[in-house]
Amino acid sequence: MWVVISQFTVANGMALQVQAAFLARPHAVDSTPGFLGMEVMHPQDKPQEVWLLTRWVDESSYQSWHRGPAYHDAHQGIPKGLKLVPGKTRIQSFQVFAT
């Protein structure tokens, strides 16, 4: 299994709008070949910090989605005017070798 964790921090007080956007997302990625699931969360004491964890069958499934038009389409619901804290965005990939 391949896991990708994206982390970003909302800079302009729009954390609730970001949460609403994820709750209302169209779930288009859910039918992507190799996609296993997604969780979106924030630390209990830092609602402006968003962590997005996606699970994939393998790296190539993730890369195919990330490089394709579906990736762009999936980000159309980003709230207008959203600003992120510079230098706080991070994306890491993990190969799961045991569960």
pLDDT digits (tens, 9 = 90+) for 44-92: 999 999 999 999 999 999 999 999 888 888 888 889 999 999 999 999 9
CA-based end-to-end distance of the chain: 10
Domain extent, residue 26, equals 2-95
pLDDT digits (tens, 9 = 90+) for 3-56: 999 999 999 999 999 999 999 988 889 999 999 999 999 999 999 999 999 999
Contacts of 79 (CB under 8 A, 6+ apart): 14, 17, 18, 20, 21
Instruction: Supply the CATH number for residue 86's domain.
Output: 3.30.70.100
C-alpha to C-alpha distance for 71 and 67, rounded to whole angstroms = 7
* pLDDT in the model for residue 76: 81
* pLDDT in the model for residue 90: 96
* pLDDT in the model for residue 69: 87
Contacts of 14 (CB under 8 A, 6+ apart): 79, 81, 82, 83
- Total domains in the fold of the chain: 1
* pLDDT in the model for residue 23: 93
